[in-house]
Amino acid sequence: MNWLYLVGIILFLLGLVISIALHEIGHLVPAKLFGVRVTQYMVGFGSTAWSRRRGETEYGIKWIPLGGYIRMIGMLPPRPGDDPTRLRSTATGPFQGLIESARDAAQEEVRPGDEDRVFYRKKWWQKVIIMSGGPAMNFVLAFIFFSILLVGIGLPSWAPIVSPETQTCLIPISEQRTECKPTDKRTPAAQANLKPGDRLVSFGGQKISSWDDATRLIRSHGPGPVQIGIVRDGRPMTVGATLIAQDRPNLQDPKKIDKNVGFLGVLPTEVMERQSLGQVLGYMGELTGRVAGSLINLPAKMVGVWNAAFSGHERDPEGPVGVVGAGRMGGEILASDLSNEKKIAIFVNLLAGFNLAIGMFNLIPLLPLDGGHIAGGLWEGIKRAYAKIMRRPEPRYVDIAKVLPLTYAVAFVMIIMAGLLVYADLVNPLTLTG
42-46, 157-161, 230-234: range with lowest mean pLDDT: 42-46
Which candidate in 24, 100, 332, 380 is catalytic? Answer: 24
Q: How many domains does the chain have?
A: 2
**For residue 324, is it within any domain?**
no
- Quickly state the pLDDT bin for 93 (edges 50, 70, 90): low
**For residue 126, is it within any domain?**
yes
Q: What share of the chain has pLDDT > 70, as a percent?
A: 91
Same domain, yes or no, for 166 and 96?
no
Same domain, yes or no, for 173 and 263?
yes
Same domain, yes or no, for 7 and 141?
yes
Q: Which domain holds residue 236?
A: 158-273
Same domain, yes or no, for 72 and 124?
yes
Is pLDDT of 90 > 50? no
Same domain, yes or no, for 17 and 129?
yes
Same domain, yes or no, for 61 and 179?
no
The CB density around residue 365, as the number of other CB atoms within 10 Å, is 14
Same domain, yes or no, for 111 and 222?
no
Residue 401 gets which letter from DSSP? G
**For residue 370, is it within any domain?**
yes
Amino acid at 39: T
Same domain, yes or no, for 138 and 268?
no
**For residue 282, is it within any domain?**
no
**For residue 333, is it within any domain?**
no
**For residue 178, is it within any domain?**
yes
Same domain, yes or no, for 141 and 174?
no
Same domain, yes or no, for 139 and 183?
no
Residue 89 has what pLDDT? 43
- Quickly state the pLDDT bin for 106 (edges 50, 70, 90): low
DSSP per-residue letters across 115-142: TTSSGGGS-HHHHHHHHHHHHHHHHHHH
**For residue 135, is it within any domain?**
yes
Same domain, yes or no, for 183 and 219?
yes
The residue among 241, 273, 305 that closes a domain is 273
pTM, two decimals, is 0.80
The residue among 273, 306, 337 that closes a domain is 273
Average pLDDT taken over every residue of the chain: 85
Burial class (CB in 10 A: 0-12, 13-18, 19+), 103: buried
CATH code for position 234: 2.30.42.10
**For residue 210, is it within any domain?**
yes
Question: For this structure, is 58 an active site residue?
Answer: no
| Residue pLDDT, tens place only, 127-147 | 999 999 999 999 999 999 999
Is pLDDT of 225 > 50? yes
Q: What Cα–Cα distance (Å) separates residue 260 from each residue in 94, 267, 424? A: 75, 19, 47
